[in-house]
Amino acid sequence: MPGSGYTDPPGAILLHGLVDDAGLLPPAPLPLFQALQRNRTDRIMAHPLLSRRLLCPSGLLPELARRTCRGDGASAEAALDGTVQGEVDRELEADPVPATGRGTGPDRGRPVPPPPSRPETPLDVGVVLDGDGGAVPVDVAGFPGVRVVHVETWALPEEVRRAALLARVGGSFRLRTVYFEMPRGSRRVESVAALSGARPLGVRIRCHGTRACPPPGVTELADTIGECVFWDVPFRVAAGQHRAVSAPAVGGLPVRHGYLNVLLATAAAVEGAGSGEVREVLRTNDEELIAARFAAVGWRTAVRTRRVFTGMGARSTGEPPRDVERLGLMGTVGEGVA
């Protein structure tokens, strides 16, 4: 790639940091301590597919910030034994035994104050606002262990003006991006244009669902991707138990769009493909064909694709790396934790 400025192959650009950890989100959230331990393990293993960013419901953010500040698993450098013992003490509501001064003099027998905490790399967090649209808690600003990098929230198309308020909150917390999930239908597709030129504002797309609340169909999803590419509006895929490749709808269950299909459909739109080709990529459930299309993406397309499709949340941080490695799309660098 002479003169490109990129040394990584296109496949690595497409997949790098694509997956956020959504273990704290419904319908089966992990206990906070377990989620922090898994996140620390993923940071140590450093699989390139994983962003090591943790998605957190807004109501849980203050507790996450407090636990991270005192070292409950977010720092990859922290010692496991001390963290686990601290958690046991808290669960048993045991008062820690203070260290006492040794030697002679007036300080003998007095508790020794703990050493000042050492600043560590903060934990990057994406905050998912509660269903009632509540604001990001203000009391996390004093916790150096957490860095809120984006917010996800539900909004009506006409309520996108809330972006101004969220942007002000984001300035306090050094937010990078706010993603809006809007009701399905043509109004959502049309509202994408309203976000043009308004980066870091973007769209959240749901690619999984239930019979009662199905994900968008192939046509609607293709139209939304096409609009995001045309207007240069970033989007991310909402958290879920995602498959790498789309699976056909069976037994009345809604279709589940594969994240590689969404990635390659975005790449096709970036290259100027028509809506018919974008829909065909989304429908493809042939793993070999998906792998072949993935290998054919050039570096310029890869960079522009990731500028638009910025990431997704996954309940498991183990399955996505195993999927891409099984398909031969990325060498084994490390494994997430299921």
**Residues near 2 by Cβ (< 8 Å), separated by ≥ 6?**
none
* Spatial contact of 266 and 308, defined as CB atoms under 8 Å apart: yes
pLDDT at res. 289:
96
* Spatial contact of 220 and 192, defined as CB atoms under 8 Å apart: no
pLDDT at res. 301:
97
**In angstroms, what CA-CA distances link 239 with 89, 108, 188, 273?**
33, 55, 19, 27
**Residues near 26 by Cβ (< 8 Å), separated by ≥ 6?**
none
How many C-beta atoms lie closer than 10 Å to residue 67's C-beta? Answer: 23
* Spatial contact of 196 and 222, defined as CB atoms under 8 Å apart: no
How many C-beta atoms lie closer than 10 Å to residue 157's C-beta? Answer: 17
195 closest CA partner among 165, 229, 171, 169: 229
**In angstroms, what CA-CA distances link 303 with 16, 20, 331?**
11, 19, 20
pLDDT at res. 99:
44
195 closest CA partner among 244, 224, 139, 234: 234
* Spatial contact of 215 and 254, defined as CB atoms under 8 Å apart: yes
Which domains can be identified in the chain, with CATH numbers? 10-79+122-325 (3.20.20)
Vertex 51 angle, CA 23 and 120, to 5°: 90
pLDDT at res. 57:
94
Mean pLDDT in each 10-residue stretch from start to end of the chain (338 residues)?
63 95 92 94 92 93 84 46 38 42 50 49 88 57 78 83 52 64 78 81 83 80 94 91 82 81 98 96 95 95 97 93 90 42
